Amino acid sequence: MFANRNLTLVALEGLLLAGAAHAQTLLATAFTYQGQLKDGGSPANGTYDLEFSLYDGEDGAAVLVAGPICVDDVQVVDGLFTAELDFGAAFGGDGRWLEIAVRADDIPANCDTGAYTTLAPRQPLTAAPYAHFSTKPWATSGNDISYTTGNVGIGTSDPQRKLDVLAGVNTSLRVGRDGGTNLELKHFNTALTDVPGSAFGMQAIGPLHSHVVLDVQANDNEDGFYVRVPTTMQMNPTVDKTVLAVKGNGRVGIGTVSPSDPLTVNGAIRSVSGGFKYPDGSVQTTAASALAANTRTPQQISLLRWYDAIQTGQTFAVGSNPYGVAFDGANIWVTNSGSSNVTKLRASDGAYLGTFAVGSTPLGVAFDGANIWVANYFSNNVTKLRASDGAYLGTFAVGLQTSGVAFDGANIWVTNSDSGTVSKL
């Protein structure tokens, strides 16, 4: 039994030398502990088994962090002993206390069995001066380090942000891998040819086919990527304007944050050169030239563009007593006055795409850019169908004996032959 004892933690020279060399070789987690053991007030001598446990506090409510580690057959001379301990990544900057249990024993390899006497109190472990200095101001947790007190400056002693990187011309912050593509946030020291003044942006530097990819993790359709520009000389989040929005559902908005289609533009679209290319591959460079040069019949009129009919002499079956015809930019719609329906044909080859019921004796037909409108002569109404799939969208009452229908870019106009009126929808 040990009537009393005194343990003192001493930092050995070897530990300090290892800490000073850590910039070249990372330190292992093992350390050397030196203590002094007394038996009955006098320095102990002999062979002992020692058991070490690491806690996060001194009292009985403390939690065991690591251990116990048993060191077999430790030689104690004049009360002094040393032991190599390795608790792994147990030192993250928080306080740690060492609990030691001891017994006199010189039997080899029996360290893990038998009873020990636990010495009290637990011993606080304190950092050696150089090791303590090397961790400031960073806090460590396993392989991670952190700093939450202030700002970090690189190239500046007066950082104004959490991470402030400043240097001379061509300053950049690089993220990448050795021998591969690097992505740099860069300030260009000379003006770009197509951007007035100086510029700041992202640049991919690496082998051929190096690309900058913006990957936004979207949790719902409202998540996405937004580009905002200041409305005044100073940034103001409450009044700055969002000029581009890419939503999680794949829709893109220009001048709007709520695009309703794959591309929604709030404002006029201008083609500086090249014109506009349509799904069938045709290109229209001016709306005026198409109107002036065309000498076709009214049945060839398209509200989107002129369409050159198939010049093969072919005919295509539709319904009974076909009367009106309209073009929606890709397909032909024919009213069948004797069948009370409309037929949809693909304009490029005349392929049959479907027949859709409407009112009684349909005559006139028009396309409004998204929907087909059919004038039903004896039903005294017009039927609205979705052009993409022919889905029924509604019937609207007008005057008596409805015959003609037209779209003005905003409204539908219907002639009522027996009422002597036109209806505006």
For residue 62 the two structure tokens come to 């403390």
Residue 389: pLDDT over 90 = yes
Average pLDDT over residues 3-31: 44
Taking Cα atoms as reference points, which of 368, 402, 360 lies closest to residue 385? 368
In angstroms, the CA 43 to CA 213 distance is: 69
- pLDDT at position 20: 36
Give per-residue pLDDT as tens, 18-54: 333 343 445 577 888 888 888 888 888 999 889 999 9
- pLDDT at position 159: 84
Secondary structure of 218-257 in HEC code, one letter for each residue: CCCCCCEEEEEECCCCCCCCCCCEEEEEEECCCCEEECCC
For residue 420 the two structure tokens come to 């002597």
Give per-residue pLDDT as tens, 45-90: 999 889 999 999 988 888 999 889 999 989 999 989 898 888 887 8
Residue 354: pLDDT over 70 = yes
Q: 340: how many CB neighbours lie within 10 A of its CB?
A: 19
Residues 6+ apart with CB under 8 A from 204: 181, 182, 183, 184, 210, 211, 212
Residues 6+ apart with CB under 8 A from 32: 12, 14, 15, 82, 83, 84, 85
Q: Do 35 and 102 touch, CB atoms closer than 8 A? A: no
In the DSSP assignment, the letter for residue 368 is: -
In angstroms, the CA 238 to CA 244 distance is: 17
Where is 403: in which H helix or E strand?
Answer: strand 402-407
Taking Cα atoms as reference points, which of 328, 423, 331, 317 lies closest to residue 376? 423
For residue 217 the two structure tokens come to 């993790």
Sorted by where each starts, the structural domains of the chain and their CATH numbers stand as 13-140 (2.60.40), 152-205 (no CATH), 224-265 (no CATH), 292-424 (2.130.10.10)
Q: Which long-range contacts (CB under 8 A, 24 or more apart) does 129-134 make?
A: 130/16, 130/19, 130/20, 131/16, 131/19, 134/19, 134/22
